[in-house]
Structure 1
């Protein structure tokens, strides 16, 4: 009796084949989905293969004779989307490839492989993952939602959101929820939500993902409010204000915000060197401004604003001004102390002093480097006089720099002072000799001019000579007596 039951079971197995468990496949909309179907190949005869979908009938079929049939709904612009690669049949791989899958392709598929009187049947559940962003145009500050749809939805699945390849952390003003068929993230369109959104779906030990890009139109530079711009006293600086390409704002205005108004900043007076006139090379959506010569008191917050599609967009930035304060503790020793000052050093983590050296050709090179906010030079000499630059650094690198020129003055070293005094004495002596020479030349010139005037009147010259001769002869006669 037991032997008969065993034989009957074997015959039933051989006649009906084996039905496997349902295989889950997760695929992103628009990609290629591969539905697996593998069984032991039969070297004696070619198999018959039938792929079908629960609600669409036959997808792809191959008879034992080699004839192939495709469902009419599986072509797109004359190109068949569903196929089984023949090159894999010899290994017993009869997987179905569906190109450019969409949400309607989701559902249950079955694969039936017949070898003579034997057949194998596999069932595959294809689920399509799609990430969509709405609305299509994302103006800065408007409401936006990012949704992850899975068709059909796998109940009990886990969903994780990633933004720019990093796990998304929920922030204030951003909500997320999952209804019966999708997971949704909602918030305001800002730089925090800009980037590549990826929905990762985990179900029964497998994982599928889909992505979509969220771009926000508005002021793209600077990307965040209160961005710091660093400038040195006396230099020129550009305050950036760039809108998204193609967005031309109306009623564009620049303001300087008064620091005493914390909650509702009020516009203040712009610096005298401020200029918002666009350059000829600027594009219509570039509304940056400039300060031609920065003063230390020009620091503070500036705001650029404009209207796009009836919505007022603005971006604020902070101008941080740097300068170098100098002090001379002792003129006798020639010592100098330089201090690097910033109106807001909150982001500065390191200071660096660099001695800038120039050769005869004007080529610039870097000499000695010292660390610290303050530079102390105990004795100014030819080795350390000239230009010094203070560089200040933040977490992401250099923020800016400011320079100071140290003069080499007399009395700062004994030998140089002595040499300078000798040169001064020689210069004074030469100047005195030159003055005497000029006086002699002036007197000679005056005598020459007097003679020249006398030679113009011969009769007068004769009278003068006669008078002179008579006077000389009377003087001789008086001497003889």
Structure 2
């Protein structure tokens, strides 16, 4: 049997043999390229005397050797290799920053005078790669997953951001070879950006390698037909952010025809309050547009496009406007209802209502209120229910946005308002009657006084005479004073 056959036999055997004091083991180690590999070689129990240790590589010669005297020998090409050679019987070999060329078969030989321990280790280096390394949106993309040396009978599966990647659902194809590597091929886009994990399965074991893929282009919004939610009257940003470092040229904002997000159905119209000049102060790769005040008519499709290295990139989005509509009661006593209305509710799965109550430091507390989906039945407006209300709407990934409505107390008063309007004229009439009564009473008193005087004429003469005497006496006193002066 040739030397190569012996190594293969020991690798496949995968068991421990005891033959006249010789221990032989075979094992496999999977290591991701660039990480540290530990090739195990442990003697249990540890030797009582100084051992002779030799690490070698098939077709590579000796890597490290330690004699019984303690003298060590290192291969000059093994700059990243070290051996622990502790007194506890651990003689494992450490390889830093593993490379593909490190893959292969290794042998650890420990001799302590009483027994000979031989451990055969197959180091398999697993690697994932992208071609091109930094693809541009729309480029042809190839994703490779390889193991060196390739394990016989191994299979490969893929995960993207922790979730199984369904090849055909994303328009990719898969190419498998018996000796590896495995390939995925498709178009680069924002939908395949993230952490790719290649999992190699063999005999119930799994070895994985993960690499991050960044597709250069428009990163926000991450996909076409993304929704941007905004309350009517509020400000909103229509995002158009390229990969950091890119400087797109010929950037153009357009509004798509109703019901279409295709580039062939665009018209150069933006909301009246859109501020295109604000992009001048932003980074070259941020071409977002700020809409200062969203109008009801602003809802619909928009598209941002620009050229990078001669390739035109574009992304469509849909601005969804939100507002609260109030019913028109037929009478003052009719109940008030608020409706949360969105121009496009296709992604909305649930609604909730809260009443916003002012608290200290200008903040507000949110009090949940039972509702029937997007419709809120309040009833007659009172001091308790008047104020600001907020409608929150949710999608599969969480809350999408919110819109508020200020419910005024005076606009909803029913019982109190009607009572006030009926009592006002009645109070005025009562006051008028009281004033008239007082006037009549006073006139009666004056008339009575006149009658009493006319009833006693002699008494009236006496009063007048007495008054005249007083006036004459006063005039005489004044003349005497002047003469005496």
1:52 aligns with 2:50: no
1:350 aligns with 2:350: yes
- 2:397: which partner in 1? 396
**1:72-471 equivalences in 2 (<5 Å):** 72-75=76-79, 81-87=80-86, 89-90=87-88, 92-116=89-113, 118-170=115-167, 171-179=169-177, 180-204=179-203, 206-259=205-258, 265-268=264-267, 269-279=269-279, 281-358=281-358, 364-367=364-367, 369-372=369-372, 373-409=374-410, 412-419=413-420
Q: Deviations over 1:380-408 (max 9, x none)?
A: 33332343332222233322222333344
Q: Which SS does the other structure have where 2:278 is aligned?
A: coil
Per the TM alignment, residue 422 of structure 1 is displaced from its structure 2 partner at its CA by 5.8
Q: Deviations over 1:390-437 (max 9, x none)?
A: 22222333222223333444894444444356668999999xxxxxxx
Per the TM alignment, residue 341 of structure 1 is displaced from its structure 2 partner at its CA by 1.5
State how far apart, in whole Å, the 1-side matches of 2:343 and 2:135 are.
37
- 2:483: which partner in 1? none
Taking a change above 3 Å as real, the CA distance of residues 386 and 100 of structure 1, as seen in their structure-2 partners, is closer
Length, aligned pairs only: 410
What is the TM-score of this pair, normalised by structure 1?
Answer: 0.77
Runs of 5+ in structure 2 lacking a partner? 1-17, 432-485
Taking a change above 3 Å as real, the CA distance of residues 156 and 356 of structure 1, as seen in their structure-2 partners, is closer
Q: Which SS does the other structure have where 1:278 is aligned?
A: helix
Taking a change above 3 Å as real, the CA distance of residues 204 and 96 of structure 1, as seen in their structure-2 partners, is farther
Taking a change above 3 Å as real, the CA distance of residues 130 and 364 of structure 1, as seen in their structure-2 partners, is closer
What is the TM-score of this pair, normalised by structure 2?
Answer: 0.76
State how far apart, in whole Å, the 2-side matches of 1:33 and 1:272 are.
62
Taking a change above 3 Å as real, the CA distance of residues 26 and 329 of structure 1, as seen in their structure-2 partners, is same
Per the TM alignment, residue 214 of structure 1 is displaced from its structure 2 partner at its CA by 1.0
Q: Deviations over 1:54-98 (max 9, x none)?
A: 1211101011111110111101xxxxx2222132x43x3322222
Q: Deviations over 1:271-292 (max 9, x none)?
A: 3223322256522211111222
State how far apart, in whole Å, the 1-side matches of 2:236 and 2:411 are.
37
**Alignment check: 8 A CA contact 1:237 1:294 kept:** yes
**Alignment check: 8 A CA contact 2:239 2:289 kept:** yes
State how far apart, in whole Å, the 1-side matches of 2:180 and 2:262 are.
43
- 2:468: which partner in 1? none
Q: Deviations over 1:211-255 (max 9, x none)?
A: 222111111111111111111222222111111111111000111
Taking a change above 3 Å as real, the CA distance of residues 260 and 319 of structure 1, as seen in their structure-2 partners, is closer
